[in-house]
Amino acid sequence: MTGAAREELLGRVRAALGPSAGPREGVAIPRAYRRAGRETAPGASAVVERFCARVAEYRARVHRARAGELEALVGDLLAGRRVLVPPAPPCAAGVVDALPDEPPLTARELDGADAVLTGCALAIAETGTIVLDGSPACGRRALTLVPDHHVCVVRAEQILADVPAALDALAQAGAATRPITLVSGPSATSDIELERVEGVHGPRTLDVVVVAGSAAPAGA
């Protein structure tokens, strides 16, 4: 469509709609978004329990551990598998057959891994969501999209009550300028018959390890 034809078409539309279709000057758009989350401390027992319940509803596998049990649990989950790890893995990489992403691996090398082990930026109890932000604990986005199995370690103090609290925490940490990935259960979609299909857009299996009584490892 030429420029003249386009203008003629739009002119006819405007004429048919009448004066009320024009832009309205001085109309205030409400921007009173909620900026803060509920007054619930991160890692509170109720918040952690809610997160675990919501994650399980998405067909992810939830595991609970104390700090001293983390390495043994991760080792069991990933035994005999070739595992991608970010620059700052959530536990000692020696507990798995680690494949570091340094220097960044090619797409073919990523596809050759069986699983990926990461931490997270934070988690949201209300929606059962894990937030990855491209930090050293999470790794780049491709790391968690290509392998068929993702093991993500979430520390209790990283679990926030709701989405506003999470957005505020990301902004304060400066993570808002990095690529943010929100993970709510394993990758899933529906085909034309509305049958659930998993593993189309990312890992088919998601293991979430919730760790209590711990602090984030150095470099995370």
132 occurs within a structural domain: yes
Tell me the per-residue pLDDT of 129-155, one tens digit each, with 9 for 90 and over: 999 999 999 999 999 999 999 999 999
pLDDT of the residue at 214: 58
pLDDT of the residue at 35: 66
1-5, 34-38, 60-64: least confident range:
34-38
DSSP string for 23-43: PPTTPPPP-----S--S--TT
Predicted confidence (pLDDT) at residue 23 exceeds the cutoff of 90? no
pLDDT of the residue at 70: 95
Neighbours of 10 (CB within 10 A): 10
Predicted confidence (pLDDT) at residue 40 exceeds the cutoff of 70? no
User: Measured between alpha carbons, how far is 33 from 64 in angstroms, rounded to an integer?
Assistant: 35
pLDDT of the residue at 34: 67
Count of structural domains within the chain: 1
10 occurs within a structural domain: no
138 occurs within a structural domain: yes
Work out the average pLDDT over 150-170: 93
Work out the average pLDDT over 95-101: 92
Question: The CATH number of the domain where 198 resides is what?
Answer: 3.40.50.10420
Q: Which residue has the tokens 């469509």?
A: 1
19 occurs within a structural domain: no
Q: Which domain holds residue 99?
A: 49-212
55 occurs within a structural domain: yes
The pTM is what? Answer: 0.78
pLDDT of the residue at 171: 87
Count CA atoms within 13 Å of residue 10 on its CB side: 8
